[in-house]
């Protein structure tokens, strides 16, 4: 502190001697800026993470499935690190507004973005989607959840093969609800693998899409297992197959897997956390370690199980590989389907 103050005095006197009184104010300001620079330019390190406040940004409206998980996670993370952890919702543009907000936040690990596969796939559908590779980096994948192929209750099919045969017929009137990134990918994958005639019908969200399926407006939809289970139990939909890469338990324990029928047909959603790209590796590692401990919590495990979410965890590199693999897979689907961002 004394060295900094002495530096300030020296520069001020020097400027005073070399300039006239008229420029003294300018010299003092210049000296202050130089002397203060080392104090504020120190990069974030694992030693100063977490800060007094950690924020998890959910780029979707409050009350949704991602928001519910984020709020439980914030409570358990606060207990783990002994700091205040809050959830802030910044919905809009299919998650892009929240993503850009976090990308432009200080790279100190105290602002985390809650992400789903849309963080990868948005760029295939939107010209102004966040550039994940250039602006954000992964911290941890929290869980994964497979999708389930559902058909409307009155559709006279009982297997994937029967649905494909129906869609391949010349007078087919089979429609698929396109509601978000992964459901759209599911529809496109089905079209590509079965060479079927599928009419794509767009909906703003899985809720309206599932309601349309239940009402008979569309023939089929790919929906995440937790909401699909409720629709099947209440008779609002019929399940034909899961997009998981291993057999499921619970409601869909006896369902066949799409990958056994069509090569490469795996469609698994996930939830994770990311931070600004410039965040130091030591900070990412510290946050990752804390979150891995949180995932061991009994209440977290129970909540995940009730929502058909499979806990994952692991190092940040594991999440990075998952995102890279999904990006490559979905990029090929988009190219084959001729989809252009709007």
| Neighbour-count burial of 228, counting CB atoms closer than 10 A to its CB (0-12 exposed, 13-18 middle, 19+ buried) | buried
Residue-wise pLDDT for 227-268, tens only, equals 888 899 999 999 999 998 888 877 888 899 999 989 888 889
Residue with structure tokens 């005073």? 16
Question: What global pTM score does this model have?
Answer: 0.78
Q: Which residues of 63-86 are buried (b: 16+ CB within 10 A; e: fewer)?
A: ebbbbebbbbbbbbbbebbebebe
DSSP 99-114: HHHHHTS-SSSSEEEE
The pLDDT assigned to 59 comes to 93
Give the tokens for residue 217.
Answer: 């407006």
- Residue 235's SS3 state is coil
pLDDT, one tens digit per residue, over 107-139 is 999 999 999 998 998 888 888 777 677 899 999
User: Could you write out the three-class secondary structure of 148-191?
Assistant: EEEECCCCCCCCHHHHHHHHHCCCCCEEEEECCHHHHHHHHHHH
Nearest alpha carbon to residue 80 among 111, 107, 54, 42: 54
How far separated are the first and last CA of the chain, in Å rounded?
55
Residue 13 has pLDDT above 70, yes or no: no
């Amino acid at each position: 502190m004394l060295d900094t103050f002495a530096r300030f005095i020296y520069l001020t006197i020097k400027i005073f001697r070399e300039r006239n009184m008229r420029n003294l104010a300018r010299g003092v300001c210049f000296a202050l800026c130089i002397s203060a620079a080392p104090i504020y330019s120190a990069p974030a390190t694992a030693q100063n993470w977490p800060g007094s406040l950690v924020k998890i940004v959910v780029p979707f409206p409050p009350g949704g499935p991602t928001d519910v998980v984020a709020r439980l996670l914030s409570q358990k993370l606060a207990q783990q690190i002994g700091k205040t952890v809050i959830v802030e919702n910044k919905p809009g543009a299919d998650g892009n507004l929240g993503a850009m907000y976090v990308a432009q936040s200080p790279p100190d690990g105290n602002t985390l973005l809650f992400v789903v596969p849309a963080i990868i796939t948005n760029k295939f559908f939107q010209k102004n989607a966040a550039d994940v590779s250039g602006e954000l980096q992964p911290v941890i994948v929290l869980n994964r959840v497979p999708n389930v192929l559902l058909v409307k209750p009155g559709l006279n099919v009982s297997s994937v093969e029967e649905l494909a045969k129906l869609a391949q017929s010349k007078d087919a009137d089979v429609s698929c609800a396109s509601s978000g990134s992964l459901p759209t990918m599911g529809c496109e994958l089905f079209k590509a693998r079965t060479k079927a005639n599928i009419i794509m019908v767009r909906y703003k969200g899985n809720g309206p899409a599932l309601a349309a399926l239940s009402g008979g407006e569309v023939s089929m939809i790919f929906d995440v297992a937790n909401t699909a289970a409720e629709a099947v139990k209440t008779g609002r939909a019929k399940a034909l197959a899961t997009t998981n890469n291993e057999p499921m338990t619970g409601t869909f324990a006896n369902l066949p897997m799409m990958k056994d029928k069509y090569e490469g047909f795996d469609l698994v959603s996930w939830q994770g956390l990311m931070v600004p790209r410039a965040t130091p590796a030591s900070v990412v590692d510290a946050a990752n370690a804390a979150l891995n401990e949180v995932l061991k919590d009994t209440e977290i495990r129970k909540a995940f199980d009730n929502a058909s979410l499979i806990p994952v965890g692991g190092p940040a590199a594991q999440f990075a590989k998952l995102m890279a693999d999904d990006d490559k897979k979905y990029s090929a689907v988009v190219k084959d389907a001729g989809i252009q961002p709007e």
